[in-house]
Amino acid sequence: MNRKSWEVTGHGGAFVAHRAVTCAEKAPSRPATHEHAVLCFYVGGSAIVEQRGRHTLGAGDVLVIPAGEPHRVLTTESAELWGLGLCVPCLPSQELKPLLAPFERVRGGGSAVVTVPSDRHEHLVGLFRELGRETSAPPSPAGKLVVQSLVALILAEVLRAQPFPSPGTTSSNPPLVAEALDYIEKHCMQPISLADVAAAVRRSPAHVTTALRRATGKTAGEWIAAGRVAEAERLLISSDERIDIVAERVGYADPTHFIRVFRRARGMTPAAFRAAHRRGFTPDPV
């Protein structure tokens, strides 16, 4: 039987996970995709991961996984890693946008693996630990700023460790799925639809739907809803705004429709989600 430990905390558009795998795990039959952008920082052991090719990861390596990017772990050997999950549409985009460059480079065809210099390992682990402590505390205005600052520092470490691509080493014309997901991340809080996504990537709506479903298991509409629901969670936790105001902020003019979408995604209404958080219960990150 596999023995592994998970420690997950999070709120405000970011969650942190610490994981130790003490013996081999069976590789999943199919690649997975996540609604969050994810960084996995390996601090010990090794793993072979499939993400646009196979990568052997060891201490000091960071795997950069944009939202919707298919990937799977093929083998592990005493692997220990820290993970950072980000809801990109929930972040203060103007301030953090330059630090999201590693995700954009991977989507554009760059390498998914970044190697952090050995003299920065201890500092980066310290940032993950501190972020874990902050995200396990009840949300507060001051805590929100601290979380954003720690996220920015972690992203900065990865950005500085990633070599700038040489001319011609990444695609100047991103693949259709990557381009569509990038557009959705940047515009999902606006009243956009499948037609808008298709127009942005210069394809027919049917073509975009087929490509996204095959690559990620979700349609454009489901990816738009995923970004909106994640931001709605953040607002429900961190504010006392009425449900109809939250709905409007995340792109839904009809609060009833927003409630249906939220309940379908999270298994409870927005009001129940808010109440559950205030009783100290935190639903698992998606």
Tokens read off for 166 = 């040489």
pTM score over 0.85: no
CA distance 110 to 38: 16
**Do 59 and 42 form a contact (C-beta atoms < 8 A)?**
yes
Give the closest residue to 64 by CA, choosing from 25, 98, 107, 117. Answer: 107
pLDDT at 127: 96
Contacts of 148 (CB under 8 A, 6+ apart): 12, 91, 92, 95, 96
Contacts of 259 (CB under 8 A, 6+ apart): 243, 247, 269, 270
> Helices (DSSP H) in 172-269: which residue ranges?
176-187, 194-201, 205-216, 220-238, 243-249, 255-266
Helix (H) or strand (E) holding 96: helix 93-96
- pLDDT 10s digit of each residue in the chain, 286 long? 233 444 566 665 788 888 877 655 666 778 888 889 999 999 999 999 999 899 999 999 999 999 999 999 999 888 999 999 998 888 765 678 889 999 988 988 888 999 999 999 999 999 999 999 988 887 777 888 898 899 999 999 999 998 765 444 444 446 899 899 999 998 999 989 999 999 999 999 999 999 999 888 899 999 999 999 999 998 998 888 999 999 999 999 999 999 999 999 999 999 999 998 776 544 444 3
Q: What proportions of the chain, in percent to the nearest 5, are helix, strand and coil? A: 50, 20, 30
Look at residue 203 and give its three-state secondary structure.
coil
